[in-house]
C-alpha cells in the first residue's frame, strides 16, 4: 500500500467517524459509496472538505467526472496526486 493511499484511508476513517474500521479493511479498488464502504452524499461533502484542508487542493463539483474520482481509494489517490502537482 503506498503512502498516499494509506493517508487517504485514514482520512476517510477519521473525517467520517467510521468506527471498527482500519485502513487495512478498505480495499484500494472497492467502491466507497453504495454497496462498497456504504458512504453517502453527506459523506462525500465531508470527505471533499477534509481533502481540501489536508492537501490544499481545490475540488470543483462542476468538474467533469468528479464523481468518478471519488469511486475508490485508488482513483482518489490519483486525483489528489494530480491536483497536488498543478
Q: Give per-residue pLDDT as tens, 42-62.
A: 999 999 999 999 999 988 877
Q: Tell me the pLDDT tens digit for each residue of 19-38.
A: 999 999 999 999 999 888 99
> Going from the N-terminus, what domains does the chain have, and what CATH number goes with each?
3-84 (1.10.1200.10)
Say if CB 73 and CB 4 are below 8 A apart. no
| pLDDT of 17 strictly over 70 | yes
The C-alpha cell at 25 is 479493511
Q: Which residue has the higher pLDDT, 85 or 49?
A: 49
Q: What does pTM read for this prediction? A: 0.90
* Total count of residues recorded for the chain: 86
Amino acid at each position: 500500500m503506498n503512502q498516499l493511499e494509506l493517508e487517504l484511508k485514514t482520512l476517510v476513517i477519521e473525517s467520517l467517524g467510521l468506527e471498527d474500521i482500519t485502513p487495512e479493511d478498505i480495499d484500494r479498488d472497492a467502491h466507497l459509496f453504495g454497496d462498497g464502504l456504504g458512504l453517502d452524499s453527506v459523506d462525500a461533502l465531508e470527505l471533499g472538505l477534509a481533502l481540501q484542508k489536508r492537501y490544499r487542493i481545490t475540488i470543483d463539483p462542476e468538474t467533469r467526472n468528479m464523481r468518478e474520482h471519488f469511486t475508490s481509494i485508488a482513483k482518489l489517490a490519483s486525483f489528489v496526486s494530480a491536483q497536488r502537482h498543478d
